[in-house]
């Protein structure tokens, strides 16, 4: 794995990317499953009941069986560390409840990198529980250790796309592998907040990463036009079989403390290649469709970020986003008729009112006065309908454009919903409500839109790709989601 970083080589040293969605509370109850990890919900109580499918730290830990046996049990120190982290997070969550009880609403954490200089009311509206999230994040920085399997060769393992729509696969693999543990010397030196998250000592690991790329499998092993995915399933099956036969860790937990990451549409299907990975593993996926078996309490929803040439479009990053007063358009969309959601959106709204509610079918805006990103920067709301799959890179683009994302989807588990209150900075509209879209958006008072835009500006940091990674960026938020899921169960000792 001593190879030069592919993704870092191209483009600027810092790439900015954002992801976003908004849910509106305009009386429309939206089918956006956003089950938070119970630990981090605002009113979390150590004894509160847990949503059925959501394993919870507080309400009885799910104890997973030891699959292996013999001397392969989890080292007690690993579980003890997790116990300490759980206790610290619970204390932070309780402290905040007390604060709220006194009515001062002061949820600042006194860590300026976290609080970002915004008022505590904004923190409290954007995060489910700012104090608990802050504590959990600090505990992650302090303790979390990931072991990355060394088996396999690029391009399918230890490598992934660095640009375009599936870039998160390549970025994440590379960023995790390059974050060398301190023992290895200074390679991760500039990455203070993350240094050491990767460990070379599996006995210290809380989770194990399977560093294959489904996008690369599709590129190198799939025969276009066949829709035959058996080669992908076979590669996943082989990889798991190899690491399970060479190391004791897979069998020890039947895969429960292992994770994969895929942004490709076929990531969920590829995970079926190994039944234990599919059933027990933590699957970090862009295609987080709850109707296709995505489990918000066990899997991780990853933002889809289109790094066209290896970075975010300059039009989105060059200047700060304009204020609401400089945005003449209520909402904007331009895109192809990909899938049933887009089809409905275009059928209802295409070309209806180009002065206020510009909706274009693919490419038409090019003949208009403005380019795509200028439209985004001049709209208060940016429509982010699902395409062929639930996730849309428009969400992150909207956030970077300072535009409130409107998530038009069914069954999309939004990224980082375990800590973020999406309804504070996005609007969710179920597909069935597409005919009412304009009415819903017009019904949101201007002050509320302003508030959402403040939220968008705050959460942008979570949807930004930095090279090397920085605190609270998309890499660390993804790691934090994995950390929370690992906190949600114990392994037998």
Cβ atoms of 205 and 74 within 8 Å: the answer is no
CB of 279 to ligand NAG, least distance (A): 15
Report the residue number, 114 or 329, with the smaller CB distance to ligand NAG.
114
Report the residue number, 251 or 433, with the smaller CB distance to ligand NAG.
251
CB of 402 to ligand NAG, least distance (A): 26
Binding residues for ligand NAG (CB under 6 A): 104, 106, 108, 110, 244-245, 248, 251, 289, 291-292, 339, 341, 386, 389-390, 411
Report the residue number, 25 or 121, with the smaller CB distance to ligand NAG.
121
CB of 33 to ligand NAG, least distance (A): 12
Report the residue number, 174 or 257, with the smaller CB distance to ligand NAG.
257
Report the residue number, 322 or 336, with the smaller CB distance to ligand NAG.
336
CB of 344 to ligand NAG, least distance (A): 11
Report the residue number, 155 or 339, with the smaller CB distance to ligand NAG.
339
CB of 388 to ligand NAG, least distance (A): 6
CB of 362 to ligand NAG, least distance (A): 18
């Amino acid at each position: 794995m001593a190879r030069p970083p592919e993704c870092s080589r191209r483009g600027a040293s810092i790439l900015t990317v954002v992801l976003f969605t908004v849910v509106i509370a305009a009386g429309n109850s939206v089918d956006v499953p956003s089950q938070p990890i119970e630990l981090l919900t605002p009113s979390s109580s150590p004894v509160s009941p847990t949503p059925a499918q959501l394993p919870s730290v507080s309400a009885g830990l799910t104890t997973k069986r030891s699959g292996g046996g013999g001397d392969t049990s989890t080292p007690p120190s690993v579980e003890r560390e997790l116990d300490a982290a759980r206790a610290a997070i619970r204390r932070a969550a309780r402290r905040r409840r007390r604060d709220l009880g006194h009515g001062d609403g002061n949820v600042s954490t006194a860590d300026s990198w976290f609080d970002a200089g915004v008022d505590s009311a904004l923190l409290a509206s954007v995060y489910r529980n700012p104090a608990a999230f802050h504590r959990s994040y600090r505990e992650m920085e302090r303790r979390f250790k990931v072991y990355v399997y060394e088996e396999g060769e690029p391009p399918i393992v230890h490598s992934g796309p660095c640009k375009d729509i599936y870039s998160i696969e390549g970025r994440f693999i590379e960023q995790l592998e390059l974050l060398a543990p301190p023992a290895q010397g200074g390679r991760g030196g500039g990455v203070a907040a993350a240094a050491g998250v990767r460990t070379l000592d599996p006995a210290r690991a809380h989770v194990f990463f399977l560093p294959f790329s489904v996008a690369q499998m599709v590129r190198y092993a799939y025969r276009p036009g066949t829709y035959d995915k058996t080669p992908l399933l076979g590669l996943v099956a082989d990889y798991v079989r190899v690491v399970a036969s060479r190391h004791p860790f897979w069998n020890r937990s039947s895969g429960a403390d292992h994770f994969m990451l895929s942004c490709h549409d076929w990531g969920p299907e590829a995970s079926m290649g190994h039944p234990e990975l599919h059933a027990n593993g933590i699957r970090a996926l862009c295609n987080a469709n709850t109707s296709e078996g995505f489990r918000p309490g066990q899997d991780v929803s990853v933002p889809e970020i289109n790094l066209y040439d290896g970075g975010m479009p300059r039009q989105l990053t060059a200047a700060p986003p304009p204020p609401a007063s400089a945005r003449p358009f209520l909402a904007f969309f331009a895109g192809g008729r990909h899938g049933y959601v887009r089809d409905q959106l275009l059928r209802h709204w295409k070309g209806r009112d180009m002065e206020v509610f510009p909706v274009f079918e693919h490419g038409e805006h090019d003949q208009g006065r403005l380019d795509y990103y200028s439209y985004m920067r001049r709209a208060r709301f940016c429509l982010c309908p699902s395409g062929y799959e639930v996730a849309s890179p428009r969400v992150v683009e909207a956030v970077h454009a300072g535009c409130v994302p409107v998530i038009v989807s069914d069954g999309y588990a939004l990224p980082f919903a375990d800590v973020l209150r999406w309804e504070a900075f996005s609007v969710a509209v179920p597909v069935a409500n597409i005919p009412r879209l304009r009415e819903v958006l017009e019904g949101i008072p201007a002050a509320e839109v302003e508030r959402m835009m403040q939220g968008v500006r705050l959460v942008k940091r979570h949807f930004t790709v930095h090279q090397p990674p920085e605190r609270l960026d998309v890499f660390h938020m993804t790691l934090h989601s994995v950390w929370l899921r690992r906190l949600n169960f114990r392994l037998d000792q």
